[in-house]
Amino acid sequence: MTSTPSRTLSTRIERWPIAGSFTISRGAKTEAVTVVAEVSQGGVTGRGECVPYPRYGETPEATLQAMQAMAEPLARGLDRIALQAAMRPGAARNALDCALSDLEAKAAGQRIWNLLGRPAPTPCTTAYTISLGTPAAMAEATARAAHRPLLKIKLGGDGDSERIAAVRKAAPKSELIVDANEAWTEDSLAANLAACADAGVILIEQPLPAGNDEALARIKRPVAVCADESVHDRASLEGLRGRYDAVNIKLDKTGGLTEALAMADAARAIGFEIMIGCMVATSLSMAPAMLIAQAARFVDLDGPLLLARDRDHGLRYDGSMIYPPDAALWG
């Protein structure tokens, strides 16, 4: 009787330069710091990548430690399903969950969507992000991207009405999503919503701070509003009724593909539109999210497009069209 070889875990922090800089209401950065997990068994290795989110108190070092703490349970046979209860949602669990999914697919010699009984991913259009800046700077950046069908505009509070008007003038034919990253207030909400409606914006992400968004239930919303920082996993969905029209699913928030798929199913059942989002990261982070993108109304998986370079075997981007991952990358 042959015993099953144990699993070994390898983790590391990687740094990927951003092309220029990436600016949102909470600050700017010039590199993407990711944490990679590799789970090996029987000569096969599965990979996953995550981006620790400072907004939730995550750091690369703490994320690395949380992943390394699972080395012994993984060696004893902890699988992807048991992982959900063994770790809290967040970046560390995401990398391990995606690595185990990749390992599962490679060991079976099948694509992960077949093993999960999900539709095979097909090409889809991703948003392209315009960083926060002055109206003139954002208009200049928008003009360079005006050929793209869907733009995501980072806003930041004071002056947002001017920013969105300048962006719309620079890209008259593009669909626009705006992301305030919790920077608006109850006092500025109505005026900013009206400015977005005037500009033909199709979606507004997280206008008010999470935990202080009650005003969304009391005001007429002329543009659909999407929860981002206010939503994490399935447990947070029910409290969003009446305030939001859509939810932004990010694997670093849900703690991996396993919960993200279940969350997408639950959100649609409640009546929410689905947005699949990302942090600035390589194609290894985007690849699992392509399974969610198949049922998403809004796709925002442009992370690799914002980097100076991507990893080997990265996703294929043809303009704003994103193609499913090759097995050499993931899944």
Residue 55: predicted pLDDT = 87
- Which listed CATH number (3.30.1330.10, 3.10.129.10, 2.60.120.260, 3.20.20.120) goes with 124-322? 3.20.20.120
Question: Which contiguous run of DSSP H or E holds residue 266?
Answer: helix 257-270
The 10s digit of each residue's pLDDT in 290-330 is 999 999 999 999 999 999 999 999 999 999 999 999 999 99
Q: Are 122 and 296 in contact (CB under 8 A)?
A: no
Using CB atoms within 10 Å of the CB of residue 228, give its burial: 0 to 12 exposed, 13 to 18 middle, 19+ buried: buried
What global pTM score does this model have?
0.93
Q: Say if 8-111 and 124-322 have the same CATH topology.
A: no
- The catalytically annotated residue of 106, 152, 250, 253 is 250
pLDDT tens digit string along 217-237? 999 999 999 999 999 999 999
Q: Are the C-beta atoms of residues 296 and 313 closer than 8 Å to each other? A: no
In Å, what is the CA distance from 144 to each residue of 139, 192, 265?
9, 25, 37
Domain range list for the chain: 8-111, 124-322
Asked if 154 is an active-site residue, the reply is yes
**Is the CATH number of domain 8-111 3.40.50.620?**
no
Q: Residue type for 170, please? A: A
**82-119 confidence digits (pLDDT tens):** 999 999 999 999 999 999 999 999 999 999 999 999 99
Q: What band does 1 get if pLDDT is binned at 50, 70 and 90?
A: very low
CA-nearest of 99, 72, 86, 75 to 4 is 75
Catalytically annotated residue among 154, 169, 173, 220 = 154
- Report CA Rg, the chain: 20
The CA distance from 154 to 164, in Å, is: 9
How many Å apart are CA 47 and CA 40, to the nearest integer? 9
- Beta bridge partner(s), residue 15: 33
Contact assessment for residue 138 and residue 153, using Cβ atoms and an 8 Å cutoff: yes
106 is catalytic: no
What is the pLDDT confidence band of residue 29, given thresholds at 50, 70 and 90?
A: confident
